[in-house]
């Protein structure tokens, strides 16, 4: 799998400028049910080689990669962990967004985290 980048931004209410909130890179997809993700949120967290597992959404939300609505029971990827819960544990990536990024590997997307 090629490396893809997504840069997320939020609007700084004091300056009116866009500030990065997360940089998400899908490093590889070792199996159909796992992704290896590099996730960075300045001042919050850095996960250089984070395993995400395929599952079904338990609640409605938004895809961190595409910004699209995620509905309960959609097929998603979410961070997995064993000992301590990661800062981005509430984030999800729609499986369809992973396929779209594979089809457009040179395309970078800017999406806000919600």
Using one digit for the tens of pLDDT, what is the confidence trace for 5-45?
A: 455 555 556 666 655 578 888 989 999 999 999 988 877 88
Quote the pLDDT of residue 25.
Answer: 87
- Share above pLDDT 70 across residues of the chain, in percent, rounded to a whole number: 70
Determine whether 55 is exposed, middle or buried from the number of CB atoms within 10 Å of its CB (0-12, 13-18, 19+).
Answer: middle
Predicted confidence band of residue 51 (pLDDT cuts 50, 70, 90): very high
The answer to which of 39-43, 59-63, 90-94 has the lowest mean pLDDT is 39-43
Quote the pLDDT of residue 74.
Answer: 96
Torsion of CA 95, 100, 102, 108, to 10 degrees: -110
pTM assigned to the model: 0.74
* Residue-range domain boundaries for the chain: 4-109
């Amino acid at each position: 799998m090629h490396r893809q980048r997504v840069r997320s931004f939020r609007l700084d209410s004091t300056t009116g400028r866009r500030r990065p909130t997360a940089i998400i890179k899908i490093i590889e997809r070792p199996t159909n049910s796992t992704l290896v993700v590099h996730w960075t949120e300045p001042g919050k967290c850095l996960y250089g080689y984070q395993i995400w597992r395929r599952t079904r959404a338990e609640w409605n939300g938004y895809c961190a990669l595409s910004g699209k609505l995620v509905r309960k029971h959609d097929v998603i990827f979410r961070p997995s962990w064993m000992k301590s819960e990661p800062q981005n544990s509430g984030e999800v990536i729609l499986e369809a967004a992973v396929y779209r990024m594979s089809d457009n590997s040179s395309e970078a997307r800017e999406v806000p985290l919600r």
